[in-house]
Amino acid sequence: YSNKYHNLRLFPGNFHSNALNKYIYKSFGKFYVGLRMGLKSKFLEILHNSPLEVSINMKLRYLPVVKKLKQLKKQNKNLKVLEVGSGSKGITRFFKYPVTGIDVEFRKHKNRYLKGILISPNKKYPFKDNEFDAVVSVDCIEHIPRNAREKSLREMLRISNRHIIITCPFTISKWDKIVLSKWPKSSATYKNIKEHYNSGIPQPEEVEKVFA
C-alpha cells in the first residue's frame, strides 16, 4: 500500500481507511523503513567495492603502480604503503593488502583494505620520518594548488624510507580542452579537469626540484 507514510507497500489490495494506514505504519513502518535503508546501505557497500565499479581507464592508470607494489611485496611481506589522494578506495581496488590513505575527504563506504586519514594539503602529514616503505600518488598532485604542491612533495619524501611512485599529467591534452569547451559544467569530468587547470598543471621541474 502506498500513501504519504513513507510510500510503504506492505499489502496488496485497495485500502482506504486512514486509521488502518496509521496502524500499519505505527506497527510495521519504522521497522520496514529501517530494514530497507540497511539493505540499501549494504548493497551500495558491496557495489562500491565490486569489479563493476572499476573502469578500464582507472585500471590502466593504476596498472604500473600496482605491478611495482606487488614486486616490492614479494621482497618485503610487511611492506607499509601510503597513498596520497586515495579517496575511499584508491589503489586498494587492485592491491589487496592494507594501505594507509590520506585525502581531503572520504565517502561513506571505504574499501576494507584502506585506512583513511583526513588531511589538508597545506598541513604536515601526521607520520614519522621514513615511516612507509612506499608512498604512491596516482593522478593526485595536479589537484593540489601550486602554492601547496612543493610542500606535499617534500612530505612524501620525508615519510618514505625508499620508494616514491607518482603519476600525473604534465600538460592539458586535446581531450581536456574539448571537455572544458563543450561538456556540461555540472558534469564530474568537467569539474575534475577544471580543477587541474585551476590548480596549475604540474611541470617536470617541480618534481625534479624536490627529488633530484
Provide CB contacts within 8 A for 73, sequence distance 6+: 79, 97
Per DSSP bridges, beta strands 160-167 and 99-103 are unpaired
**Is the separation of the CB atoms in 66 and 83 below 8 Å?**
no
Average pLDDT of the segment spanning 15-25? 52
Q: Any idea what the Cα angle at residue 128 is, between residues 122 and 133, rounded to 5°?
A: 105
Report how far residue 32's alpha carbon sits from residue 10's, in angstroms, rounded to the nearest whole number. 9
Instruction: Residue 68: count other Cβ atoms within 10 Å of its Cβ.
Output: 14
The sign of the dihedral angle between the CA atoms of 98, 128, 151, 210 is negative
Give the helix, strand, coil percentages of the chain, each rounded to 5. Answer: 50, 15, 35
Q: What percent of the chain has pLDDT over 70?
A: 73
> For 88-112, how does the pLDDT look when each residue is reduced to its tens digit (9 = 90+)?
888 998 999 999 999 988 877 677 8
Average pLDDT of the segment spanning 61-89? 93
Residue 149 has pLDDT above 50, yes or no: yes
**Is the separation of the CB atoms in 54 and 70 below 8 Å?**
no
pTM of the model: 0.72
